Amino acid sequence: MSTADPLKGETRAQMQHGAKLLATDSDTSIDGPWKNQESVGPTDCYVTLVVLLGMLPKMIVLFVPLYVLLLPATALNRWYFMRNCPPNTQALPTRSDWGWACHCFLQWLLTLPAQVIIMTNHLVDQAIWLVFGALFATLTLSWPQVYRNRSVIAPYRGGPSLYPYFCDIVTACGGMIYRQGLFEFHQCFTLMFFVNPWVKYWVNGNMWCGKLGERFITQIGQSMGDLPINAIEKHFKRCISDARVSPDLREEIDEMFFCPHYPYPPSGTDRSFVVGMQHASKLTTLVHTTHFKGADGKDNSVLAMSKSSERDVYRVMLWRNNPFHIYTGWVEANITHGRPSQ
C-alpha cells in the first residue's frame, strides 16, 4: 500500500504516511480535534511584523510591473482557448499537436521576464524567513520544536516540481481564465506569486515560530440524494475538469466563492495527475491533482484516504515544496455518504 507511483504524482514518504493514517481508527466524516488559541500573543505580533516588513514593500513595488509583464501571455492564452475549445469541451482537443507546443513555448517566452522576477522574489523571501525564523528560534530557545516541526511536514516534502509541468499550468490557466474572466483571473494570478508563499511558509505553516500539527477536516455540501450517483459524478467533473463549460454554467461557477479547475491529463499519456488551480474570492492557487478515473472512465487505482466516500473523484496534494498554495496537506474531493457521523 505504501508503493509510490510517479505517474500518480506520488512519493514514498507520502504513501507510507497515508498507509499509517489509514491504519488508525479515525472518523473521516467529522473534523479532527484541534486546540484553538483564543487571543493574540507575542509570537503572532512578531509574525505579523515580519510580514509587514518583508512582504508588503516588495509587493507594492513589484505588483504593477509583474501584472503588466504577465498580461500579454494571459490574454493570448484566453484567445487560444476560446479559438480551440467550443462550449462543453471535455479536454483541450489540440494539446497533442504542434500548434499546442508552439503555444506553450510562446507562453514560456512571454513570461520569461516575469519568471525572473518571481524566482528572485521567492529567493529573497526564503532568505527573510531563514533570518527572522532562526533569530526567533534562537531567542526563544525553540530549536527542538523546529526539528519536530520538520518531521510533521516530512511526508509532504519532495512532491513533483511545478516547472516541468509548465504546459499543465498553461492548460489550467486557460480553463480558469474562461471561468473567472480575464481581468479577475489576472489580478488574482499576479497576487498569487507575492501572497501565497508568505501565507504558506510564514503564517499557516511556520516551522520556526510555532508548533505544527496535522489536522483533517470534512466539508460536506447539501444532500443530492434525489440524483443517481453517476449523474452527480458527471456534473461534478464537468464543472471542475472540462476545458470549457457552457456559458450558463460558466456564470454559475463564476458566482461561487470557491472554484477549482482540475483538467484531465493529456491524451496519450499514462499520467493520472496534473497541475490544476483553485480560485477563492481574491485568491488563486496551484495544486497537484490526481484523477481517480480518467476522462474515458478508466480506473487509475488511486489510494483513497476518506472512509466516508461513496465515490472517489480527485486527490489534491498540497505539497510543501509548492509555494503557490497556502496550505500543506492531503485533500480529497469525493462524493460522500457522510457516515458514520453526518
- Residue 6: the pLDDT is 93
Range 257-269 average pLDDT: 88
Instruction: Determine the 3-state secondary structure of 295 from DSSP.
Output: coil
**Interval 298-314: pLDDT, tens:** 888 898 888 888 899 99
The model's pTM is 0.92
User: Which residue type is seen at 248?
Assistant: D
Which residues lie closer than 8 Å to 72 by C-beta, 6 or more apart? 110
Average pLDDT, the chain: 91
Query: Which residue's entry shows cell 496534494?
Result: 317
* 140/145 Cα distance (integer angstroms): 10
**Confidence at 2, pLDDT banded by 50, 70, 90:** low
User: Which residue type is seen at 213?
Assistant: G
- Residue 274 grid coordinates: 496534473
Whether the per-residue pLDDT at 182 is higher than 70: the answer is yes
**Interval 119-175: pLDDT, tens:** 999 999 999 999 999 999 999 999 999 999 999 999 999 999 999 999 999 999 999
- Residue 167: the pLDDT is 94
**Interval 42-51: pLDDT, tens:** 999 999 999 9
* 66/326 Cα distance (integer angstroms): 20
- Residue 222: the pLDDT is 77
Question: What percent of the chain is predicted at pLDDT more than 70?
Answer: 99
Q: Phi/psi of residue 159, each to 5°?
A: -70, 170
**Interval 188-242: pLDDT, tens:** 999 999 999 999 999 999 999 999 999 888 888 777 778 888 898 888 898 999 8
**Interval 271-283: pLDDT, tens:** 999 999 999 888 8
- Residue 283 grid coordinates: 485568491
- Residue 92: the pLDDT is 74
Question: What percent of the chain is predicted at pLDDT more than 90?
Answer: 63
- Residue 86: the pLDDT is 84
**Confidence at 269, pLDDT banded by 50, 70, 90:** confident
Whether the per-residue pLDDT at 56 is higher than 60: the answer is yes
**151 alpha carbon, distance to own chain's centre:** 22
The H helix count followed by the E strand count for the chain is: 10, 5
Whether the per-residue pLDDT at 96 is higher than 90: the answer is no
Which residues lie closer than 8 Å to 275 by C-beta, 6 or more apart? 162, 165, 168, 169, 172, 286, 287, 288, 289
- Residue 90: the pLDDT is 78
Sort 72 into a burial class: Cβ within 10 Å, 0-12 / 13-18 / 19+. Answer: middle
**Confidence at 255, pLDDT banded by 50, 70, 90:** confident
How many residues belong to the chain? 342
